Amino acid sequence: MAQHFRAAFGQEPAAPVSNKCHHAPQMEVVMNAELPQERVADDRSVATAAKWNANGPCMVKLAVIAAFAASGLANRAVAAPATVTLEEALAQSAAGTTIPLSSYSVDFGKGNGLYKGVIVGGNPFSGIPTPVTIDVVVIPLTIQIITPDNHLVVFDPTIPTACGGGVSAVDRLKHSPLVVSKDHIVNGVDVGDVQYINAFMRAEFWNASEFSKFLDDHLHWTFVEQAPIPLPPFTPEVGIVEGDVSTPGCWARGIVTQSVLVGLIQDWIPLLQYQGVISPTKLALFLMRDVVTSVHAPPVSEKAGGAHSAIGNPVQTYAWVPYLTNNFDALAGKQDIHSISHEIGEWMMDPLIGLKGNKTPKWSAPGAKKCSSVLEVGDPIEKWSVAVETDGYTYHPQELAFFSWFYNGENVPSFGAGGEFSSNGHFAGPARPCPPGGTYR
Ligand SMILES: [Zn+2]
């Protein structure tokens, strides 16, 4: 189910772009247009800036952006292998040159023999898991979109807005259960006073071994206070604003073409590493406010909230996510940290996707038509969230599917908390092989 597409740049001769992009970015679509990223074309930052040049004001700022982009390309510090083996990634983890990783090898009666993979953090299958702290660096991205009638709409996660209740997206995230510890009851089991994703990981492996309930994967968060990346504005070819920005009521969100956004982020990763802002030993979390992505150019309604991926050697894991204050996503049951919890949960369980993802027996979300075979714990169960209060505000992180849901045969019990197959009981049985997919119970 790989889908290949071509980015808009390079197909549009109108802009005076000397460095046209001749490479077709190729990505595998995994459920709901959420994409693991492969390294793609090299010259899109320059192409983006040049396109912007052809469209708008602020030539001086543009020149700076183009120069930065070009220097980022020239100084690219990260070699991008087509893939990395599990052994290489584990060796890097052991040497402390990438994030802490543990490996697994399982056969729980669904056919095709052993499945091997790596997860972030301690090992739930062997002895008493070593407590692990994993660094996360939040890099705010201010997204600017030029509308067809030449207005510039700015989505800035560092600025308080009325839609966010007078609080910035960055500050909301800082006080959320992804960062702040609290006692979590998962499927009736008290898994302890921890962060939300740590609670999920514990619950997921609660009965995997004699000591697996002591799994402790704590995320240590650092917030870059100001956006270090001067992204060029998205022109109508690659960015649109949905809704009405002129009236109050939080009815606006941005949709940008994913290959363009990802190209810009990938071009900046080596520079941010060089500056010491990020490193392969830390998850780089690029945070937007109310901006989602589309695989199309111009963007259309097929949207993904965010995605996570890996690049380089040693492996740098990264993700881009929106904090949601708008009403569009709330109507669809996705609010505040829904997408962020989705991507971080998936990163914990499949950190190397984009290079060497964890394979599973084929599954599909209930009601979905396409089969998938990657260990992405958010994708099968996107429509459910749980209400969790921290620091006086109620957040809505997503329910996530357990390891046992993907790998267990029909009658193999879950080792998850409460014997369930997801973190709030909506999956009471494992995934049914796809097709037809769905869940047994
Ligand atoms: Zn996902």
* Tens digits of pLDDT across the chain (441 residues): 222 222 222 222 222 222 222 222 222 222 233 333 332 222 233 233 323 332 332 222 333 333 333 333 333 333 444 578 999 999 999 999 999 999 999 999 887 789 999 999 999 998 999 999 999 999 999 999 999 999 999 999 999 988 888 999 999 999 999 999 999 999 999 999 999 999 999 999 999 999 999 999 999 999 998 878 889 999 999 999 998 877 666 888 999 999 999 999 999 999 999 999 999 999 999 999 999 999 999 998 778 889 999 999 999 999 999 999 988 888 888 999 999 999 999 999 999 999 989 999 999 999 998 999 999 999 999 999 999 999 999 999 999 999 999 999 999 999 999 999 999 999 999 999 999 999 999
Angle ∠(97,103,104) on CA atoms, nearest 5: 170
In angstroms, how far is CA 356 from the centroid of its own chain? 16
CA of 131 to the centre of ligand 1 (A): 26
CA of 149 to the centre of ligand 1 (A): 34
| C-alpha separations of 406 from 138, 276, 360, 374 in Å | 30, 37, 6, 9
CA of 150 to the centre of ligand 1 (A): 34
H helices, E strands: number in the chain: 9, 21
Tokens representing residue 247 in the block? 């009236």
CA of 395 to the centre of ligand 1 (A): 19
Q: Distance between CA atoms of 290 and 61, rounded to whole angstroms? A: 25
CA of 249 to the centre of ligand 1 (A): 28
CA of 388 to the centre of ligand 1 (A): 21
What 8-state DSSP symbol labels residue 87?
A: H
CA of 322 to the centre of ligand 1 (A): 13
* DSSP-assigned letters across all residues of 208-242: SSTTGGG--EEEEEEE-SS----PPPBPTTTEEEE
CA of 415 to the centre of ligand 1 (A): 22
CA of 307 to the centre of ligand 1 (A): 6
CA of 301 to the centre of ligand 1 (A): 17
User: What pLDDT is recorded for position 109?
Assistant: 87
Give the pairing type, strands 316-323 and 282-289.
parallel
User: What pLDDT is recorded for position 82?
Assistant: 59
pTM above 0.75, yes or no: yes
User: What pLDDT is recorded for position 5?
Assistant: 26
Residues in the chain: 441
What 8-state DSSP symbol labels residue 154?
A: E
CA of 362 to the centre of ligand 1 (A): 16
Q: What are the pLDDT digits (tens) for 280-332?
A: 999 999 999 999 999 999 998 778 889 999 999 999 999 999 999 988 888 88
Do 355 and 314 meet the contact criterion of CB atoms below 8 Å apart? Answer: no
The single residue listed with the structure tokens 């969100």 is: 253
CA of 344 to the centre of ligand 1 (A): 9
CA of 174 to the centre of ligand 1 (A): 22
Average pLDDT taken over every residue of the chain = 83
CA of 350 to the centre of ligand 1 (A): 10
Strand, coil or helix: what is 440?
coil
CA of 400 to the centre of ligand 1 (A): 10
Residue among 346, 290, 338 at smallest CA distance from 318: 346
CA of 370 to the centre of ligand 1 (A): 14
User: What pLDDT is recorded for position 249?
Assistant: 67
Taking the CA atoms of 82, 87, 92 and 98 in sequence, report the sign of the dihedral they define: positive
Q: Tell me phi and psi for residue 397, to 5 degrees.
A: -65, 155
* Sequence-ordered strand ranges (E) for 265-311: 282-289, 291-294, 303-304, 307-311
CA of 352 to the centre of ligand 1 (A): 14
Q: Distance between CA atoms of 47 and 11, rounded to whole angstroms? A: 12
CA of 439 to the centre of ligand 1 (A): 17
CA of 27 to the centre of ligand 1 (A): 14
Q: What are the pLDDT digits (tens) for 376-404?
A: 999 999 999 999 999 999 999 999 999 99
**152: which strand partners?**
146
User: What pLDDT is recorded for position 247?
Assistant: 64
What 8-state DSSP symbol labels residue 410?
A: T
